[in-house]
Amino acid sequence: MVRITVNYEPEGGRKKGTQLQEDLEVLRHSTAHVMAQAVKELYPSAKIAIGPAIENGFYYDFDYEPGFTEEDLQKIEEKMREIVKRDLPIVRTIMNRDEAIRLFERMEEPYKVEILKELEDDKVSLYSQGDFIDLCRGPHLPSTGKIGAFKLLSVAGAYWRGDERNKMLSRIYGTAFFDEESLKKYLNFLEEVKKRDHRKLGRELDLFTLSDEVGPGLVIYHPNGALIRYILEDFERKEHLKRGYKFVYGPHILKLDMWKRSGHYENYKENMFFTKVDDVEYGIKPMNCLSHIVVYKSSIRSYRDLPLRYFELGTVNRYEKSGVLHGLLRVREFTQDDAHIFARVDQLKDEIRGILDFVRDVMGIFGFEYEMEISTRPERYIGSLEDWKRAEDVLREVLDETGIAYRINEGEGAFYGPKIDVKLKDALGRRWQCATIQCDFALPERFDLYYVDSDGKRKRPVMLHRVILGAMERFIGILIEHYAGKFPVWLSPVQVIILTITEEQIEYARALNERLLSEDIRTETDLRNEKLGYKVREATMRKIPYMLIVGKKEADEGKISVRSRDGKEMKGIALKEFIEMVKDDIVNRR
């Protein structure tokens, strides 16, 4: 057994880029160990599992039967501060694996024993601080006194190793920074995230329901949410038609043999649902590509026919573990704005450039900035290495030639081809995966797709799989948080609400409502015998863009007074002027 005092010491919190992130990871991992020590000192019966640093903090999983409460988190935080004040040296120990197993067996830490028994290394590293010892690769800070500002954030359930067949553990989340200012800034960010949570706003704005009674990860849209989705889908259809796409529809289930031929059964079956009809096995589609392949194969194609662009707002089902389901952002059934382009090799670059232009135009409408990355060949893949290289090269070349910056995401491509992934940046600077462009030589080979070239010979087309918004559910969830529920006028389910001051204005309000509806402006009336202030507050809470307030003066003069959801007012204006203003918002998608 060899003991080593750790020399690692970060150089403060002012660094940029990768080095700062590495320093933060070490700080957060060390803080996770301090949290685990605090838990063991306060609750000796708790068994420790794993505790890594994550993107914005850290967590640690514990097997503790009563579970933890918010009050417990406060106690644990206080104990952590005590441990930091003790300034305990953090010491690394190299130990034989079998010796480490015996040590953790004596400590009655079964999760550490399980991990150790699966390791192939003869030697393992352990880190200790005072009486606390943990299995860990490190690195860590030199002592607990070097830990800066931290905060425990929440507690949640998590299955051991993410497997629903295993025991549910208690997961405590926290975050840590080198200074209090950075921590305060992050906590303020979390407060804003909480305010914008699409699940909270979805309830307040009456957009959708997620119910365990129906089934986890299955979305039911209410009228307001369904209308937003309809508007987005209508927008998408028109944009695709303008760009030469043809609409197709495919079934929700396809025979299992199709999924075996495509490679989905071998490489993706853990994410699929299956069923049986008349003793024949079917796969419920997780993707729309196979139906589009069948459409392509329905006729002999000439080189003059290509490229062929097939588009489908296709609903798919994928098995996601219950632990990763999250509102609209991670569901089991969703609809994609899915398209497949069949092209000649010499057309590939132009088609990819066209998709990139499409992404640029659409994301500009919603006010999203974005970044790009190329995801390369994963461990499980189909097709030849030569075709993978060709596909990866063409994606790189297009981005290089267009001057678009990107990074490489090694090994994260689809099993049938590499891809360009588009990461949106929302109003809070968070990144979301939505649009993707996948270059596929493998499925055309597996399904024997061909076109007749100018020399009369059969040639193999290349297949581009692509989405622009991605999953409609996910995109709507992102939009809710991006806009904080204040949808632009063109997307708002209710664009205008008419508020009467007294019952004497009801007939005038109804006439206004009919006129606005006839102009394709989505309008409601609030004719209740309630105080105007109450009606205004309620309409503001519903985040309706415009309120038309009509009293005796407006009714007598045939005018309206307008109040926006942000509190701006325009008094005594003509209805025609208001209609033109709203239509301008709609046409210009504001």
Tens of pLDDT, residue by residue over 425-469, are 999 999 999 999 999 999 999 999 999 999 999 999 999 999 999
Distance in Å from the first CA to the final CA of the chain: 67
Q: How confident is the model at residue 322 (pLDDT cuts 50, 70, 90)?
A: confident
Higher pLDDT, 11 or 40: 40
CATH value at residue 57: 3.30.980.10
Which has the minimum average pLDDT: 249-253, 318-322, 347-351, 499-503?
318-322
Q: Does residue 33 have an active-site annotation?
A: no
Q: What are phi and psi of 85, to 5 degrees?
A: -65, -30
pLDDT (average), residues 106-128: 93
| Residue at 312 is within a domain | yes
The single-letter code of the amino acid at 365 is I
Q: How confident is the model at residue 321 (pLDDT cuts 50, 70, 90)?
A: confident
Q: 514 and 472, same structural domain?
A: no
Residue 219 has pLDDT above 60, yes or no: yes
Q: 428 and 329, same structural domain?
A: yes
The answer to whether 7 and 142 are in contact (CB under 8 A) is yes
pLDDT value, residue 185? 95
Q: 352 and 239, same structural domain?
A: yes
| Residue at 196 is within a domain | no
DSSP conformation letters of 185-200: HHHHHHHHHHHH-HHH
| Residue at 13 is within a domain | yes
Domain limit, last residue, from 155, 187, 219: 187
Q: 504 and 356, same structural domain?
A: no
Classify burial at 496, counting beta carbons within 10 Å of its beta carbon; exposed 0-12, middle 13-18, buried 19 or more.
Answer: buried
| Residue at 204 is within a domain | no
**Cα–Cα distance for residue pair 353/260, rounded to 1 Å:** 32
pLDDT value, residue 48? 95
**Active-site residue, selected from the candidate residues 390, 419, 466, 535:** 419
pLDDT value, residue 17? 53
Average pLDDT, the chain: 94
User: What residues contact 485, with CB distance under 8 A and at least 6 apart?
Assistant: 196, 201, 204, 205, 543
CATH value at residue 270: 3.30.930.10
Say which DSSP state 467 is in: E
pLDDT (average), residues 409-434: 95
Q: 412 and 368, same structural domain?
A: yes
215: left (phi over 0), alpha (psi -120 to 50) or beta: left
| Residue at 226 is within a domain | no
Q: 176 and 58, same structural domain?
A: yes
Q: Does residue 278 have an active-site annotation?
A: no
**Active-site residue, selected from the candidate residues 37, 72, 240, 336:** 336
pLDDT value, residue 574? 94
pLDDT (average), residues 531-535: 95
Element at 40 (helix H, strand E):
helix 17-42
Q: Does residue 338 have an active-site annotation?
A: yes
Q: 177 and 286, same structural domain?
A: no
Name the residue among 88, 92, 73 with its Cα closest to residue 150: 73
Strands (E) across 289-396 are located at: 301-302, 308-317, 333-343, 369-375
**Active-site residue, selected from the candidate residues 289, 482, 495, 543:** 289
Please give the tally of structural domains in the chain.
Answer: 3
Two structure tokens written together for 257: 């043999």
Percentage above 90 pLDDT, the chain? 92
The answer to whether 537 and 567 are in contact (CB under 8 A) is no
pLDDT value, residue 175? 96
CATH value at residue 534: 3.40.50.800
**Active-site residue, selected from the candidate residues 151, 198, 264, 340:** 340
**Active-site residue, selected from the candidate residues 33, 465, 466, 543:** 465
pLDDT value, residue 11? 38
Domain limit, last residue, from 156, 187, 218: 187
**Active-site residue, selected from the candidate residues 61, 338, 421, 585:** 338
Q: 29 and 178, same structural domain?
A: yes
Residue 14: how many other CB atoms lie within 10 Å: 8
Torsion of CA 262, 379, 470, 326, to 10 degrees: 120
Q: 510 and 472, same structural domain?
A: no
Q: Does residue 136 have an active-site annotation?
A: no
**Cα–Cα distance for residue pair 275/283, rounded to 1 Å:** 6
Which residue range(s) make up the domain with 519? 496-587
| Residue at 203 is within a domain | no
Q: Does residue 198 have an active-site annotation?
A: no
- Supply the pTM of this predicted model: 0.89
Q: Does residue 318 have an active-site annotation?
A: yes
Residue 259 has pLDDT above 50, yes or no: yes
pLDDT value, residue 9? 37
Name the residue among 539, 299, 164 with its Cα closest to residue 549: 539
The answer to whether 46 and 62 are in contact (CB under 8 A) is yes
Q: Does residue 336 have an active-site annotation?
A: yes
Torsion of CA 223, 225, 227, 231, to 10 degrees: -170
Residue 545 has pLDDT above 50, yes or no: yes
Residue 300 has pLDDT above 60, yes or no: yes
pLDDT value, residue 6? 33
Domain limit, last residue, from 152, 169, 187: 187
Q: What are phi and psi of 309, to 5 degrees?
A: -115, 110
SS3 472: helix
The single-letter code of the amino acid at 87 is D
Q: 31 and 175, same structural domain?
A: yes
Residue 7 has pLDDT above 70, yes or no: no
Q: 338 and 292, same structural domain?
A: yes
68: left (phi over 0), alpha (psi -120 to 50) or beta: beta
**Active-site residue, selected from the candidate residues 301, 318, 482, 565:** 318
Enumerate the β-bridge partners of residue 254.
Answer: 283
| Residue at 201 is within a domain | no
pLDDT value, residue 55? 86
| Residue at 429 is within a domain | yes
Q: 509 and 398, same structural domain?
A: no
